[in-house]
Amino acid sequence: MQYADADDAADIKTGEIKLHGPGDFDGMRKAGRLAAECLDMIAAHVQPGVTTGRLDDLIREFVLDAGALSATIGYRGYRHASCISLNHVICHGIPSDKVLKNGDIMNIDVTVIVDGWHGDTSRMYWAGEPKVKARRLIDTTYEALVKGIESAKPGHTLRDIGRAIQTHAEGQGFSVVRDFCGHGLGRVFHDAPNVVHYAEYVEKIGFNNEIIHRAPEIELKPGMFFTIEPMINEGKPEVKLLKDGWTAVSRDKSLSAQFEHSIGLTETGVEIFTKSPAGLDRPPYAV
């Protein structure tokens, strides 16, 4: 019931967790590599004076020139090849004519489709010189992703991944966004399971009530494909959705950072499909 052989499953979100075979790993390797190359390509273009819309144009052209598709163009009415989330934007920032200025930090998130397989990855970038606290947030977020990936292995559960991320981020005085999570992917963009980036948190309701949210103890099995994509806020974790229906910002307007990899579970650990071929997995990018 909970897991399905991907060969037997329909290419839609059914709620079952698909377990993939060796040929599927090949498909994800290609898709993940192209998405990562796209993020490598964009690094040299992130400069003060450039618009986020221009960066998106470069990304769209790169993906189409490679003979691939952008998974986000046309996705639930979204019209761009990337999400570019500046400063206090947590995720799903819409590329626009906004001009980057010195010290801006941003997440650039790209999802491509190659031969039907999805490669989904994002990294942080900065224009000019970032502030020290922004850099510390970015470093912590990257480290949290790495610790999450290190916890992803057969025998562990999704909650172990969330715990590793939450412990690291909160240990540095930052908070984990709860309203967005990682996801299964493969031939489907957003599939089961949800990959939350916490183990547990308490939500206060009214004066006297609380709800305890616990990440599920779903067992990790070889052949699972999913993303880990922690969003870490400098201040409080609460999110506000802007009127455009996409842009999610931190309610307290504090800075937010995110990194994302698409991974596949092997018998012993993970394969990261979206590692940077150029070694540009985290800033500073010497380009």
Binding of ligand MF3 at residue 109 (CB under 6 A)? yes
Binding of ligand MF3 at residue 229 (CB under 6 A)? yes
DSSP letter at 21?
-
3-state secondary structure of 77: helix
Interface of this chain with ligand MF3, residues 178 to 217, rule: CB under 6 A: none
Closest approach of Cβ 123 to ligand MF3, in Å? 12
Residue from 20, 33, 92, 261 touching ligand MF3 (CB under 6 A): that is 92
| Residue 26 neighbours by CB distance under 10 Å | 12
Binding of Co ion at residue 227 (CB under 5 A)? yes
Q: CA-to-CA distance for 84 and 193, rounded, in angstroms?
A: 25
DSSP letter at 84?
E
The torsion defined by the Cα of 57, 29, 27 and 74, in degrees rounded to 10, comes to -20
Conformation bin of residue 70: beta by default, left when phi > 0, alpha when psi is -120 to 50: beta
Closest approach of Cβ 155 to ligand MF3, in Å? 26
Q: CA-to-CA distance for 142 and 276, rounded, in angstroms?
A: 14
Stretch that binds ligand MF3, among 76-84, 99-107, 192-200, 261-269 (CB under 6 A): 76-84
Q: Which is nearer to ligand MF3, 80 or 88 (CB)?
A: 80
**Alpha helices, DSSP H, located in 156-205:** 158-171
Q: Which is nearer to ligand MF3, 199 or 231 (CB)?
A: 231
Residue from 16, 24, 37, 120 touching Co ion (CB under 5 A): that is 120
Q: Which is nearer to ligand MF3, 105 or 231 (CB)?
A: 231
Binding of ligand MF3 at residue 60 (CB under 6 A)? no
Which residues of the shown chain bind Co ion in the complex (CB under 5 A)? 109, 120, 122, 227, 260
